A and B are shown apart, each in its own frame.
Chain A
């Protein structure tokens, strides 16, 4: 009985949210697009002029862009592989009955609630520092040379920090999915003589496929925009060793004040994120029964 009256009410109640989001998305995005075709530097006001696609040509042929693209892919890919593999392992572990399961669960999900700047600085200084860090102390105790993580392997170190932050998320989702698995199927397979590995590959893994896809897509959205962790540990360096696309755009626009070039980079980032978003939206949409 959706009357004309309730239809009008629906439109009325929905409009504030729609208008706000429309404004938030459309106005700045159109401005970015417009800036991206201008020569526009904050240090040289009054010299703005239309230069066509020149900003894009510069941005897309800049060696820093290729470095940043490679770093972005390595960061996203590395963290995805580590969190999903680790998450499956942890989910299988936490799904077993043992003493203090609730407490261990709390310990495992804790890193997700630590703000990015705190986790990055704690890892950088108190764990990874080659002089005073805990890892250096452990290395010395074992008679090894301390390793200067952020200088020798900067990108891997950042992957490690970000993995620590996202492992709880993957674990929680995979564990939730695992707990919906029909136990009788596992028991039946065991009776039929299927070994643990067989059961894992043929029953558990296919059951987790959906959750793995969800984890992949959602983490990708967030991982493409990793920023704070890079800002407070390496500032994108040494050189461009840890500069991802997000950081590159930030550096170009707010450190070099090149609004035009930065905007072109921003649009490139939007296009890249959209490719991922299309897949994610399809998955969630399929699940939405209205």
Chain B
């Protein structure tokens, strides 16, 4: 009896949860479906759900019309480049904070966090003018620099929380055996911290891929990553839903998959270790 009641309860919860999940996911699903329709079918009334003529022409057309892969490549370069550059600077810093903490380590960490809370409009104008004067407007290298700096605090913090879980004695032992600082970090710490570094890498690629304040303000046709490229659909000509959907699907799909893999680290990274 009790078992039947539990099962019935489970069935009800299953139905509710799936309904809610599909409703929340629906805008994404709808975008993917629309990307396979013709432009006429994309605005048909009543809307067609699955029974339409599936086509790939939107994907081909998006590429032909606007050199989609240039923008895709820009997104890859900017998000991966800024993350790797950030890791390069952050690994040594996080090493010292986790294993050689001093009186001021805590203050430095908190201060780094506070830079993340600076609203971007507070520094928009100087950055814009500096970029203009140094010829960095609409350049990939400029965007890599800015995104490295805005995500650096998160990278340092995430690495710090992961490094702290590694017993310091192992590093000390390697030091006793005569390993220099470089060997200690490269050959002792990094191999042990691979999972933590991987999650940091993943989360920061996601954040950089989706960053849409600096990329919109500092890029034009040449260096525009997908965030800025998609924004060009805000002033469209003629029917464009299917093409918008195809461009959006390609922009979102890779990062959505990465995001699904990193859902655990997301909580930790975005709350700076306050919730684990």
Contact = CB atoms under 8 A, between A and B. Distances in A.
B68 to A, nearest CB: 14
A94 interface: yes
Given A114-B28, A118-B251, A173 B275 contact: yes
Given A10-B96, A111-B27, A21 B115 contact: yes
A37 interface: no
A165 to B, nearest CB: 10
B126 to A, nearest CB: 4
B149 A24 contact: yes
Contacts of A245: 121
Contacts of A35: 125-126
A281 to B, nearest CB: 6
Contacts of B4: none
B267 to A, nearest CB: 5
B93 A18 contact: yes
A53 interface: no
Interface residues of B, number: 97
B234 to A, nearest CB: 4
Interface in A237-290: 245-246, 249-250, 253-254, 259, 262-263, 265-267, 269-270, 272-274, 276-277, 280-281, 283-285, 287-288, 290
B118 A16 contact: no
Given A112-B259, A218-B271, A16 B93 contact: yes
A104 interface: yes
B10 A227 contact: no
B212 A253 contact: no
Nearest to A244: B121
A65 interface: no
B271 A214 contact: yes
A271 to B, nearest CB: 9
A118 B230 contact: yes
Contacts of A101: 17
A113 B256 contact: yes
Nearest to B181: A9
B30 A134 contact: yes
Given A233-B234, A287-B273, A221 B106 contact: no
B63 interface: no
B245 interface: yes
B195 interface: no
Chain A interface residue bracket vs B: 35 or more
Nearest to A36: B125
A266 B209 contact: no
Given A93-B13, A115-B251, A269-B119, A27 B126 contact: yes
A14 B97 contact: yes
Contact of B106 (A18, A164, A285): A285
B228 to A, nearest CB: 8
B95 A13 contact: yes
Interface string B190-228: 000000000000000010011011001100000000111
A40 B92 CA distance: 42
B18 to A, nearest CB: 6
Given A7-B100, A16-B89, A227 B118 contact: no
A176 B275 contact: yes
Interface string B236-263: 0000110011001001100110111001
A122 interface: yes
B55 interface: no
A113 B17 contact: no
5 contacts: A35-B126, A110-B25, A253-B124, A273-B117, A290-B105
Interface of B: 10, 13-14, 16-18, 20-22, 24-25, 27-28, 30-31, 34, 43, 45-47, 89-90, 92-93, 95-97, 100-102, 105-106, 108-110, 112-130, 149, 152-153, 156, 172, 181, 185, 206, 209-210, 212-213, 216-217, 226-228, 230-231, 233-234, 240-241, 244-245, 248, 251-252, 255-256, 258-260, 263, 266-267, 270-276
Interface of A: 1-2, 6-7, 9-14, 16-18, 20-21, 24-25, 27-29, 31-32, 35, 90, 93-94, 96-101, 103-119, 121-127, 132, 134, 137, 140-141, 164, 167-169, 172-173, 176-177, 210-211, 214, 218, 221, 224-225, 227-228, 231-233, 245-246, 249-250, 253-254, 259, 262-263, 265-267, 269-270, 272-274, 276-277, 280-281, 283-285, 287-288, 290
